[in-house]
Amino acid sequence: MAEYQYDLVVIGAGPAGESAAMNGTKAGLRVAVVDERSTVGGNCTHQGTIPSKALRHAVHQVMQFNRNPMFRHMSGQKWLSFPQVLETADRVINKQVAMRARFYARNRVDLFHGHATFKDNNSLQLQLDDNKVDVLKAKDFVIATGSRPYQPPEIDFDHPRIFDSDSILTLTTTPRNIAIFGAGVIGCEYASIFNGLGSKVDLINPGERLLAFMDDEISDALSYHLRGHGVLIRHNESFKSVEGFDDHVVLTLESGKRVKCEAFMWANGRTGNTDSLNLEAVDLEPNSRGQLAVDDHYRTKQANIFAAGDVIGWPSLASAAYDQGRSISGVISNNGTYRHVNDIPTGIYTIPEISSIGKTERELTVAKVPYEVGKAYFKDTARAQITGEEAGVLKLLFHRDTTELLGIHCFGDQAAEILHIGQAIMSQPNGGNSIRYFLEHTFNYPTMAEAYRVAALNGINRLF
C-alpha cells in the first residue's frame, strides 16, 4: 500500500473536477485527480454532452443536405445510420480526451485511475485495477463524480432493445421507430436526433408541456416544430410497464395506451454518483437523488469537503460545473477566482437549438413587472434566408420604463451562440443594460446578430 500527500484531491475528471484541479495547481496547490475511467473527461466527454452534441451536429448536417434544393439534381436524399453518426462522436471524444490529458500533464496534476472511498475527513482509499490499494491524504477534497441516468427497478435495462441516455450510445442499428419516455432536455434532444435519422418517434412526457422551465412561447415553438416533422408527443402520461421481446418493446401507460416500438429509451431523471463513496465515514448524507447539499461556496457540512457539478443538482450543466469547480479551488487557495455561479444561460441542443437567460414572461407577469416584448423572426432576416435555416425567433423581454433587458429567449439555428450577445449587454452596469444598445450600434449585415436590432425596433415601437 502506497500513501500520498496532497493539498487538494479531486474525485472525478469531468468539467467540475478538471477546472478545480487546473485552477488549484495554478494557485500553487499540490493536486491529484481520481477517476474510475482509464481516460479523463468524465461523463460529459464520454457519455453526455460531447457525444450527444456531436451526434446532433452530424444529423443536422444530413438534414441540411436533404432539404437544400441546390443538391437535388446531384442525387437523391442521403441517410446515415445511427452507428455511422456515432463514428463522428467517437472522433470528437478522442480529440477531447487527448486535449484534456495534455492539460493534466502540462500542469503537473497527478492522475489516479481507480475507485475512491473516504476513510475519514482527510484520507481516501483508492482501489486500483490491479487490486492494489493506495491511500491519498489531503487537506481538502472536491467531490465531482457527476451523475448517471435514474433506472426504475421494474424496467429491464439489460434487454438489448431497452436503453437509457448512456447505453443508447451502444445502439448498433437505426430503429424504424423509438419510444422515448421523458421529455426533458435529454429526451427532447434525442427525439430530434432520431427524428432527423428518419425514425418514427413517440415522445412520452410526464408533464403538461415540453421543457416547462422555458418561456412558454419557446416551449410551444419546439413542440410545434417536432410535431411538424412527425414526432408524436403525448403529455401527462406515466408509465405502467415496459416489456421487451425479441424484435420489439411494448410500453404500457397508466392511461391504458400501449406503444409498440423497435427500441425504447428511458430519459426521465438522473442520480448523483455518491452511493459508492462511503460518505458515512465523513458524516455526509446525500438526498434521495444522490445529491449533496452545499453552501454558497460549494462547501458541504464538512468544512474541508466541497462538491460541484451534477452531484449538487441544479443547474446540472457542464458550463456551470466548470465555473463551480474553478470557484472551489479559488476558495481553497484564496487566489481571488471565487464567484458564486448564477444567472446561467441555458443551451438545449434540439434541432433547432434553444437558448435562454433571465426571466420568462410567466415569471414577470406573476411578479407584476411592467415589461414589453420585442421579436425578430429568423425567416425575416437575410442571413437565415441565405443559410436556409428560417425556423426560429429571437425574443427580448425588457422593462417598459427603464428599457432594461430582463430576459432573452431564442429558438432556431445557432441559438446557443446568438444568446451570448444579449447576455453581454444584460451584464453591463450603470444603466448599460438597455435594449437601446441594439439601436445605437451598427451590426454586420447579413448576420444572425442583426436579429437583435430587428427585435429591439419591434419592442421599442410598442412603447407609448
Question: Would you say 147 is a known binding-site residue?
Answer: yes
Q: Which of 240, 14, 319, 9 is nearest to 136 (CA)?
A: 9
Question: Would you say 217 is a known binding-site residue?
Answer: no
Task: Write down the domain spans for the chain.
Answer: 2-149+271-333, 162-267, 352-460
Q: Could you give the CA distance from residue 172 to residue 47 in angstroms, rounded to a whole number?
A: 16
Q: Could you give the CA distance from residue 192 to residue 226 in angstroms, rounded to a whole number?
A: 7
Q: pLDDT (tens digit, 9 = 90+) per residue, 142-158? A: 999 999 999 999 999 99
- Give the rounded percent of residues in the chain with a pLDDT score beyond 70: 98
Question: Would you say 357 is a known binding-site residue?
Answer: no
> What are the Cα distances from residue 368, in Å, to 290, 372, 396, 456, 459?
37, 12, 17, 22, 19
pLDDT at 28 over 90: yes
Average pLDDT, the chain: 95
Question: Would you say 28 is a known binding-site residue?
Answer: no
The confidence band for 80, taking pLDDT boundaries of 50, 70 and 90, is: confident
Q: Could you give the CA distance from residue 347 to residue 423 in angstroms, rounded to a whole number?
A: 13
pLDDT, position 68: 76
Question: Would you say 189 is a known binding-site residue?
Answer: yes
Question: Would you say 182 is a known binding-site residue?
Answer: yes
pLDDT, position 65: 84
Question: Would you say 269 is a known binding-site residue?
Answer: yes
Contacting residues for 413 by C-beta, under 8 A, at least 6 apart: 352, 353, 378, 384, 387, 389, 391, 392, 448
User: Is the CB of residue 57 less than 8 Å from the CB of residue 85?
Assistant: no
pLDDT at 73 over 80: no
pLDDT, position 74: 65
Contacting residues for 226 by C-beta, under 8 A, at least 6 apart: 188, 191, 192, 195, 203, 210, 233, 350
Q: Could you give the CA distance from residue 25 to residue 77 in angstroms, rounded to a whole number?
A: 52
The DSSP code sequence of 8-75 is EEEE--SHHHHHHHHHHHHTT--EEEEESSSSSSHHHHHTSHHHHHHHHHHHHHHHHHHH-GGGTTT-
pLDDT, position 136: 97
Neighbouring-strand partners of residue 168: none
Q: Could you give the CA distance from residue 50 to residue 27 in angstroms, rounded to a whole number?
A: 29
Mean pLDDT of 174-180: 97
Which CATH architecture group holds 162-267? 3-Layer(bba) Sandwich (3.50)
Mean pLDDT of 69-91: 80
User: Is the CB of residue 318 less than 8 Å from the CB of residue 44?
Assistant: yes
Q: pLDDT (tens digit, 9 = 90+) per residue, 281-316? A: 999 999 999 999 999 999 999 999 999 999 999 999
Q: Could you give the CA distance from residue 169 to residue 73 in angstroms, rounded to a whole number?
A: 35
Same fold, 162-267 and 352-460: no
pLDDT at 457 over 90: yes
Q: Which of 284, 288, 346 is nearest to 120 (CA)?
A: 284
The confidence band for 1, taking pLDDT boundaries of 50, 70 and 90, is: confident
> What are the Cα distances from residue 114, in Å, to 104, 108, 272?
17, 19, 18
Out of 38-42, 64-68, 215-219, 324-328, which region has the weakest mean confidence (pLDDT)? 64-68
β-strands 110-120, 270-272 pairing: unpaired
The confidence band for 76, taking pLDDT boundaries of 50, 70 and 90, is: low
- H or E, element range at 384: helix 382-387
Within 107-215, residue ranges assigned H as helices are 185-196
CATH number of 352-460: 3.30.390.30
Cα torsion 317, 320, 321, 327 to 10°: value is: -170
Question: Would you say 146 is a known binding-site residue?
Answer: yes
Q: The domain 2-149+271-333 is classified under which CATH number: 3.50.50.60, 3.30.2320.80, 1.10.3210.10, 3.40.50.1970? A: 3.50.50.60
Return the residue matching grid coordinates 417598459. Answer: 400
User: Is the CB of residue 352 less than 8 Å from the CB of residue 392?
Assistant: yes
Cβ burial 185-199 (10 Å sphere, 16+ → b, else e): bbbbbbbbbbbbbbb
Q: Which of 75, 55, 53 is nearest to 65 (CA)?
A: 75
Question: Would you say 186 is a known binding-site residue?
Answer: yes
Mean pLDDT of 65-84: 76
Please indicate whether residue 222 or residue 62 has the higher confidence score (pLDDT): 222
Cα torsion 192, 420, 145, 8 to 10°: value is: 160
Return the residue matching grid coordinates 427603464. Answer: 402
pLDDT, position 71: 72
The confidence band for 400, taking pLDDT boundaries of 50, 70 and 90, is: very high
Q: Could you give the CA distance from residue 32 to residue 6 in angstroms, rounded to a whole number?
A: 7
Question: Would you say 53 is a known binding-site residue?
Answer: yes
Say if residue 408 is exposed, middle or buried (CB neighbours under 10 Å; 0-12, 13-18, 19+).
buried
Q: pLDDT (tens digit, 9 = 90+) per residue, 186-217? A: 999 999 999 999 999 999 999 999 999 999 99
pLDDT at 75 over 90: no
Question: Would you say 188 is a known binding-site residue?
Answer: yes
Within 133-290, residue ranges assigned H as helices are 185-196, 216-228
